[in-house]
């Protein structure tokens, strides 16, 4: 019981720390590199935690659907629209394997962008601070509304200076190399 309480306290503490860093960034403060690395670790931990919760809810949902389907088979007079709705749902909702693949792809891209950001900041620059400030999930990915067959997954890369074609090319070149690794 004590270990479980300690783990919950650590999660609570980590979440509070993440909120603190988010607040600083929202107010326009620049983080020191080691603080930014800690922020990125906490952000990744929280994203994984949210994904695990979403996956648990998805499995609970599937179990409930299977239970409903089992009850429908035992009913003497099943309602036709129930079967129709269930068939439509299975047509549009992605499989757990697809959702896992999407999460893995997004995680790899986010990690690669973090590495690219570190590489770009290792080179001398005119301005102090990180050039690439972060990445955000947007659209269907952020809202968890991915349907079967969706192939457009959107991430937004935040930069400290106005994005230019040169910056885009630089990030693209480095990102391709990182994703190949």
Q: 13-33 pLDDT, tens per residue?
A: 888 888 898 888 888 888 898
In the 8-state DSSP scheme, what is residue 151? -
Residues 18, 46: contact at Cβ < 8 Å?
yes
Q: What is the pLDDT of residues 125-155, one digit of tens each?
A: 555 678 888 899 998 888 888 888 888 889 9
pLDDT in tens, 44-96: 888 888 888 888 888 888 888 888 877 766 655 556 667 788 888 888 888 88
Report d(CA 20, CA 67) in Å as an integer.
Answer: 43
Query: How far apart, in whole angstroms, are the C-alpha atoms of residue 129 and residue 87?
Result: 53
Domains and CATH numbers, the chain: 1-93 (no CATH), 95-181 (3.30.460.10)
Q: Are the C-beta atoms of residues 155 and 137 closer than 8 Å to each other?
A: yes
* pLDDT per position as a tens digit, 93-120: 888 888 888 889 999 999 999 999 989 8
């Amino acid at each position: 019981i004590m270990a479980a309480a300690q783990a919950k306290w650590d999660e609570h503490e980590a979440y509070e720390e993440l909120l603190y860093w988010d607040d600083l960034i929202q107010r326009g403060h620049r983080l020191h590199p080691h603080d930014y690395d800690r922020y990125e670790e906490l952000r990744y931990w929280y994203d994984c935690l949210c994904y695990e919760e979403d996956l648990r809810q998805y499995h609970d949902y599937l179990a409930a659907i299977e239970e409903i389907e089992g009850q429908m088979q035992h009913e003497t007079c099943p309602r036709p629209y129930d079967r129709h709705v269930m068939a439509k749902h299975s047509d549009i909702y992605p499989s757990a394997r697809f959702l896992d693949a999407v999460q893995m792809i997004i995680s790899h891209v986010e990690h690669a962008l973090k590495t690219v950001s570190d590489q770009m900041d290792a080179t001398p620059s005119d301005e102090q601070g990180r050039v690439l400030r972060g990445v955000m999930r947007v659209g269907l990915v952020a809202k968890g509304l991915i349907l079967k067959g969706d192939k457009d997954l959107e991430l937004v890369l935040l930069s400290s200076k106005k994005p230019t074609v040169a910056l885009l090319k630089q990030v693209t070149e480095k990102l391709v190399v990182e994703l190949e690794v």
